[in-house]
Amino acid sequence: MDFEAWRQVRIAVLPYERCPSVEELRAVMVPERLMLLAEVDGELAGSGLADKSHLAGVAGVAPRVLPAFRRRGVGGAVLRELAEHCLTIGVPHVGASADDPGSVAFAEAFGFVEVDREVEQVRKIGVEPEPELPVGLTVVSLAERPELWAAAFDTLGRQAVSDFAVDRPIEVTAEEWERDWKGEPAGTFMALAGDEIVGTAGLTLDPDQPNRAEHALTAVGRHWRGRGVASALKRLTLHWASQNGLTEVYTWTQRGNENMRQLNEHLGYEYRTVSVRVRRELPL
């Protein structure tokens, strides 16, 4: 598999999103995951990805076609192969993201229907002061205390994923929590009340655009919510970004998570992209 060619398609189609590095892609290659490249007359035309998602009973598919090769059947051919793979791994539904009207129309032509929407909120980084912390809390980075991430899974992690504004249960293993949900260690912060982990917020750096980063999980334990913990942690990531040469950070938030959207608005984030989540039952 030519991971770099796959990356170049994704970057061309989704320039506003962070693309995993080649090393990151290799690290998550498991038997259930399928990555494809599409060619037309020997020229790179598109790519595909299919994998089990964290939503119960749903696999994610991502057929992508370079602009010069669209409306020539490439996307449909890739989608059919991805869907067949999902059947072989025993997943009854497939879901995808559509970020523009053409992608929505393509999905609808194959019987996908809208099930959710996510919004992208973007924040320009300027001079960002270090925030005051709520009384009784201390904060450390994962670079200082890397063992805290695994320790947070059974308490903070399980609470966070079960409270997501989605229509199906989210299934995350301890291994996936460690591999997929953690941000840059130096830019990921854990809030502690004594020895109790009560919150986290972090950033994931972009290997192709070092001046920007995507927010990793922001989460606060249920009995600590409403006390300014999320705001302080998010402000701390903005402060870290300003100290480390970043000029932009962004985050995606599901429909139904108005509290996080409002917090981001309060912190000066602006809206940029709306992503339509679509799904359908297999077979295609």
Token representation of residue 173: 């293993």
pLDDT in tens, 33-80: 999 999 999 999 999 999 999 999 999 999 999 999 999 999 999 999
Which amino acid would we find at residue 219? A
pLDDT at 168: 87
Is 259 within a domain? no
- pTM for the whole thing? 0.93
pLDDT at 165: 82
All residues at 6 or more sequence positions from 133 whose CB lies less than 8 Å from its CB, including other chains? 139, 191, 232
Which amino acid would we find at residue 110? F
Query: The CATH number of the domain where 151 resides is what?
Result: 3.40.630.30
Q: What is the rounded CA–CA span in Å between residue 103 and residue 107? A: 6
User: Are 201 and 133 found together in one domain?
Assistant: yes
Q: What is the rounded CA–CA span in Å between residue 115 and residue 254? A: 11
Is 260 within a domain? no
User: Are 8 and 110 found together in one domain?
Assistant: yes
Is 265 within a domain? no
Is 131 within a domain? yes
User: Are 142 and 67 found together in one domain?
Assistant: no
Is 262 within a domain? no
Is 64 within a domain? yes
pLDDT at 166: 86
Range of the domain at 164: 126-246
User: Are 91 and 179 found together in one domain?
Assistant: no
User: Are 73 and 135 found together in one domain?
Assistant: no
Quote the number of domains for the chain: 2
3-state secondary structure of 3: helix
pLDDT-above-70 percentage for the chain: 100
The list of the chain residues with pLDDT below 50 reads none
Q: What is the rounded CA–CA span in Å between residue 81 and residue 269? A: 39
User: Are 130 and 206 found together in one domain?
Assistant: yes
CA-to-CA separations, 231 to 51, 60, 113, 129, 191, in angstroms, rounded: 34, 31, 35, 13, 12
User: Are 35 and 143 found together in one domain?
Assistant: no
Which amino acid would we find at residue 8? Q
pLDDT in tens, 248-265: 999 999 888 899 999 999
Q: Under a CB-based contact definition with an 8 Å cutoff, are residues 142 and 185 in contact?
A: yes
User: Are 130 and 115 found together in one domain?
Assistant: no
User: Are 115 and 201 found together in one domain?
Assistant: no
User: Are 146 and 163 found together in one domain?
Assistant: yes
Q: Under a CB-based contact definition with an 8 Å cutoff, are residues 74 and 38 in contact?
A: yes
Is 75 within a domain? yes
User: Are 112 and 74 found together in one domain?
Assistant: yes
Is 218 within a domain? yes
User: Are 164 and 242 found together in one domain?
Assistant: yes
